[in-house]
Each structure stands twice: as structure tokens, then as C-alpha cells.
Amino acid sequence: MKSVLEWQIATVQAICQETHRVKTFTLALPDWSPHRAGQHYDIRLTAPDGYQAQRSYSIASEPERRGELDLTVERIENGEVSTYLHDVLIPGDQIEVRGPIGGYFVWEASMAGPLLLVAGGSGIVPLMVMIRHRRAARSTVPTRLLYSSRTAEDIIYAEEMDQLVATQPGLGIYHTLTRAQPHGWTGYARRIDVDMLREVATPLGSALRSYVCGPTSLVESVADQLTALGLPADRIRTERFGPTGGTL
């Protein structure tokens, strides 16, 4: 991490609609510095009268992509910053950012694994960047992602996940859809529970590292269940996304 995190003015290069509520913003940074998979950036918006609002957003792009970064943002109804980003921001606009920030909920290929990633909703973002970093670093660390979404339409990065599973050795991605499932769905169809975690985690052995990110209720229960399955606390790293948790 840099000794001082200065604000800098990034330029929006592209905006990609991921799902009906989620967009990815590609930002070009004049002073880009390498981040670690799992870190975040702060965004600061300033109104003409000086009023300011700040929020943190997870970096979605792997550190091997230099000079720019992706931030994937869910639009929160009645939100202040996410609604501005979704409803107002267009390519060519400029926006103040600083980062990268955070040094615990991170994974680097050199840390090895095996890796168990558990995500709920937009909590996928810092875990997806770990998988993208794994690909860029040509890591073959056994890695399994268990990803809980409400419906098939809410799965963020769905197409890329299919491609990753088809091309990356040692990677498995397991979905659960908690609210509605499409016809012929073969994945899980319930909230994550201890049986589901055991099925997904057992092939990874007992020496795994786990990263859990999502809404507080999911993170609390999954962390408890991983503890019940015998995983030591220092192998369970958590990050929470809530409507007011500052990260959405």
C-alpha cells in the first residue's frame, strides 16, 4: 500500500451492464498503482456547493491489467452514490477516486490454497477478481466458488464464469438460486447451509483458505458453518456488503 493515498481524477472509459441492477465501470487512472485481489477503492463525489459523499467499491479487475481498473457496483434503491454512478455517469466523465485500500481480505497466487470462495449477491466482486488474478497468474491452485444469487438473472459475470470453468484447470463454480430457478436447473436451490458447504469444500481437503463475502446474514452463517466444519478462524476471511455497509 502506498504511504499516502492521494485523491486522483479518473476518467470513465466504458460502462458495462452486468445485470439489471449491476454495472461495471472501467476507469483510467493517471496514477495507477498495483492492487491486490480483494482490495477496494474509495469514490468521492462533490456537488457545486461543496457537499461531498464517499463510498467504497471492490475492484473487479485483476492487478495484471495495468493503468485502469474496473469497479462493479450494484444500484441501491434510494442510494446516493450508486444511483449517481448508474443513472448519471457516462463514458468520458471524470470522477475522484483513491486506493487501493484494504490488506486482509486479499488473495495472491503466491499465497497458494486450496481456495474456497463463498459469495452472496454482489459480494462476488472481490472473489471474482481473485479468480481473474488466478487465471492471469496461470495458477492451478484448486479453487471452488459457491455463489448464491436470487435468480438466474441476478448472477453477475455469468458468461465469464462458464468460460472460466471450461478453460481453467482446477476451478469449479457452484451456483445456488434462492428465490426462483429456471426450467431444468440442476444447481442448488436453497440458501447456503452446512451440507452444501461440506459438499463443495470437502474435495479441497482440510488445509484450505476461505474467503466469504456477501450480506451480513450470509457471511455470519457461512463463517459459523465453516467453523463448525472444523476450519480454524484464521482460515476464514470475511467481508460484508450491506445496504448501508458502505460498500454497495
Partner 1 sequence: MPKGFISRGFQGRRVQSDDQSRIPPGQHETADFPVLSAGPTPRIVLEAWTFEINGLVKKPIHWTWDEFRKLKSQPYTVDIHCVTKWTKLGTQWEGVSVDTLLEYVELEPNAHFVTAFCDGGYTTNLPLEDITGGKAFIAYNYDGRPLPREHGGPARLVVPHLYFWKSAKWVRGFTFTEQDELGFWESLGYHRRGDPWKEQRYRGD
Q: Given the rule CB under 8 A, which residues bind partner 1? A: 1-5, 7, 9, 44-56, 78, 80, 84, 88, 93-96, 101-105, 216, 220, 223-224, 226-227, 233-234, 236-238, 240, 242-247
Closest to partner 1 by CB, 108 vs 220, is: 220
Q: Which amino acid is at 29?
A: L
Closest distance to partner 1 from the beta carbon of 172 (Å): 23
- Residues near 28 by Cβ (< 8 Å), separated by ≥ 6? 10, 11, 13, 67, 68
Closest to partner 1 by CB, 100 vs 135, is: 100
Is-contact 218 192, C-beta < 8 A? yes
What's the CA gap between 234 and 43, in Å, rounded? 30
Closest distance to partner 1 from the beta carbon of 146 (Å): 16
In the chain, helix, strand, coil percent, each to 5? 25, 35, 40
Closest to partner 1 by CB, 101 vs 165, is: 101
For residue 244, count other CB atoms closer than 10 A to its CB: 8
Closest to partner 1 by CB, 85 vs 129, is: 85
DSSP string, 86-109: HHT--TT-EEEEEEEE-SSS-B-G
Closest distance to partner 1 from the beta carbon of 89 (Å): 8
Query: H-helix or E-strand containing 40?
Result: strand 40-46
Closest to partner 1 by CB, 80 vs 153, is: 80
Closest distance to partner 1 from the beta carbon of 214 (Å): 12
Query: H-helix or E-strand containing 165?
Result: helix 158-167
Cell reading at 51: 457537499
Closest distance to partner 1 from the beta carbon of 72 (Å): 17
Closest distance to partner 1 from the beta carbon of 170 (Å): 26
Closest to partner 1 by CB, 141 vs 223, is: 223
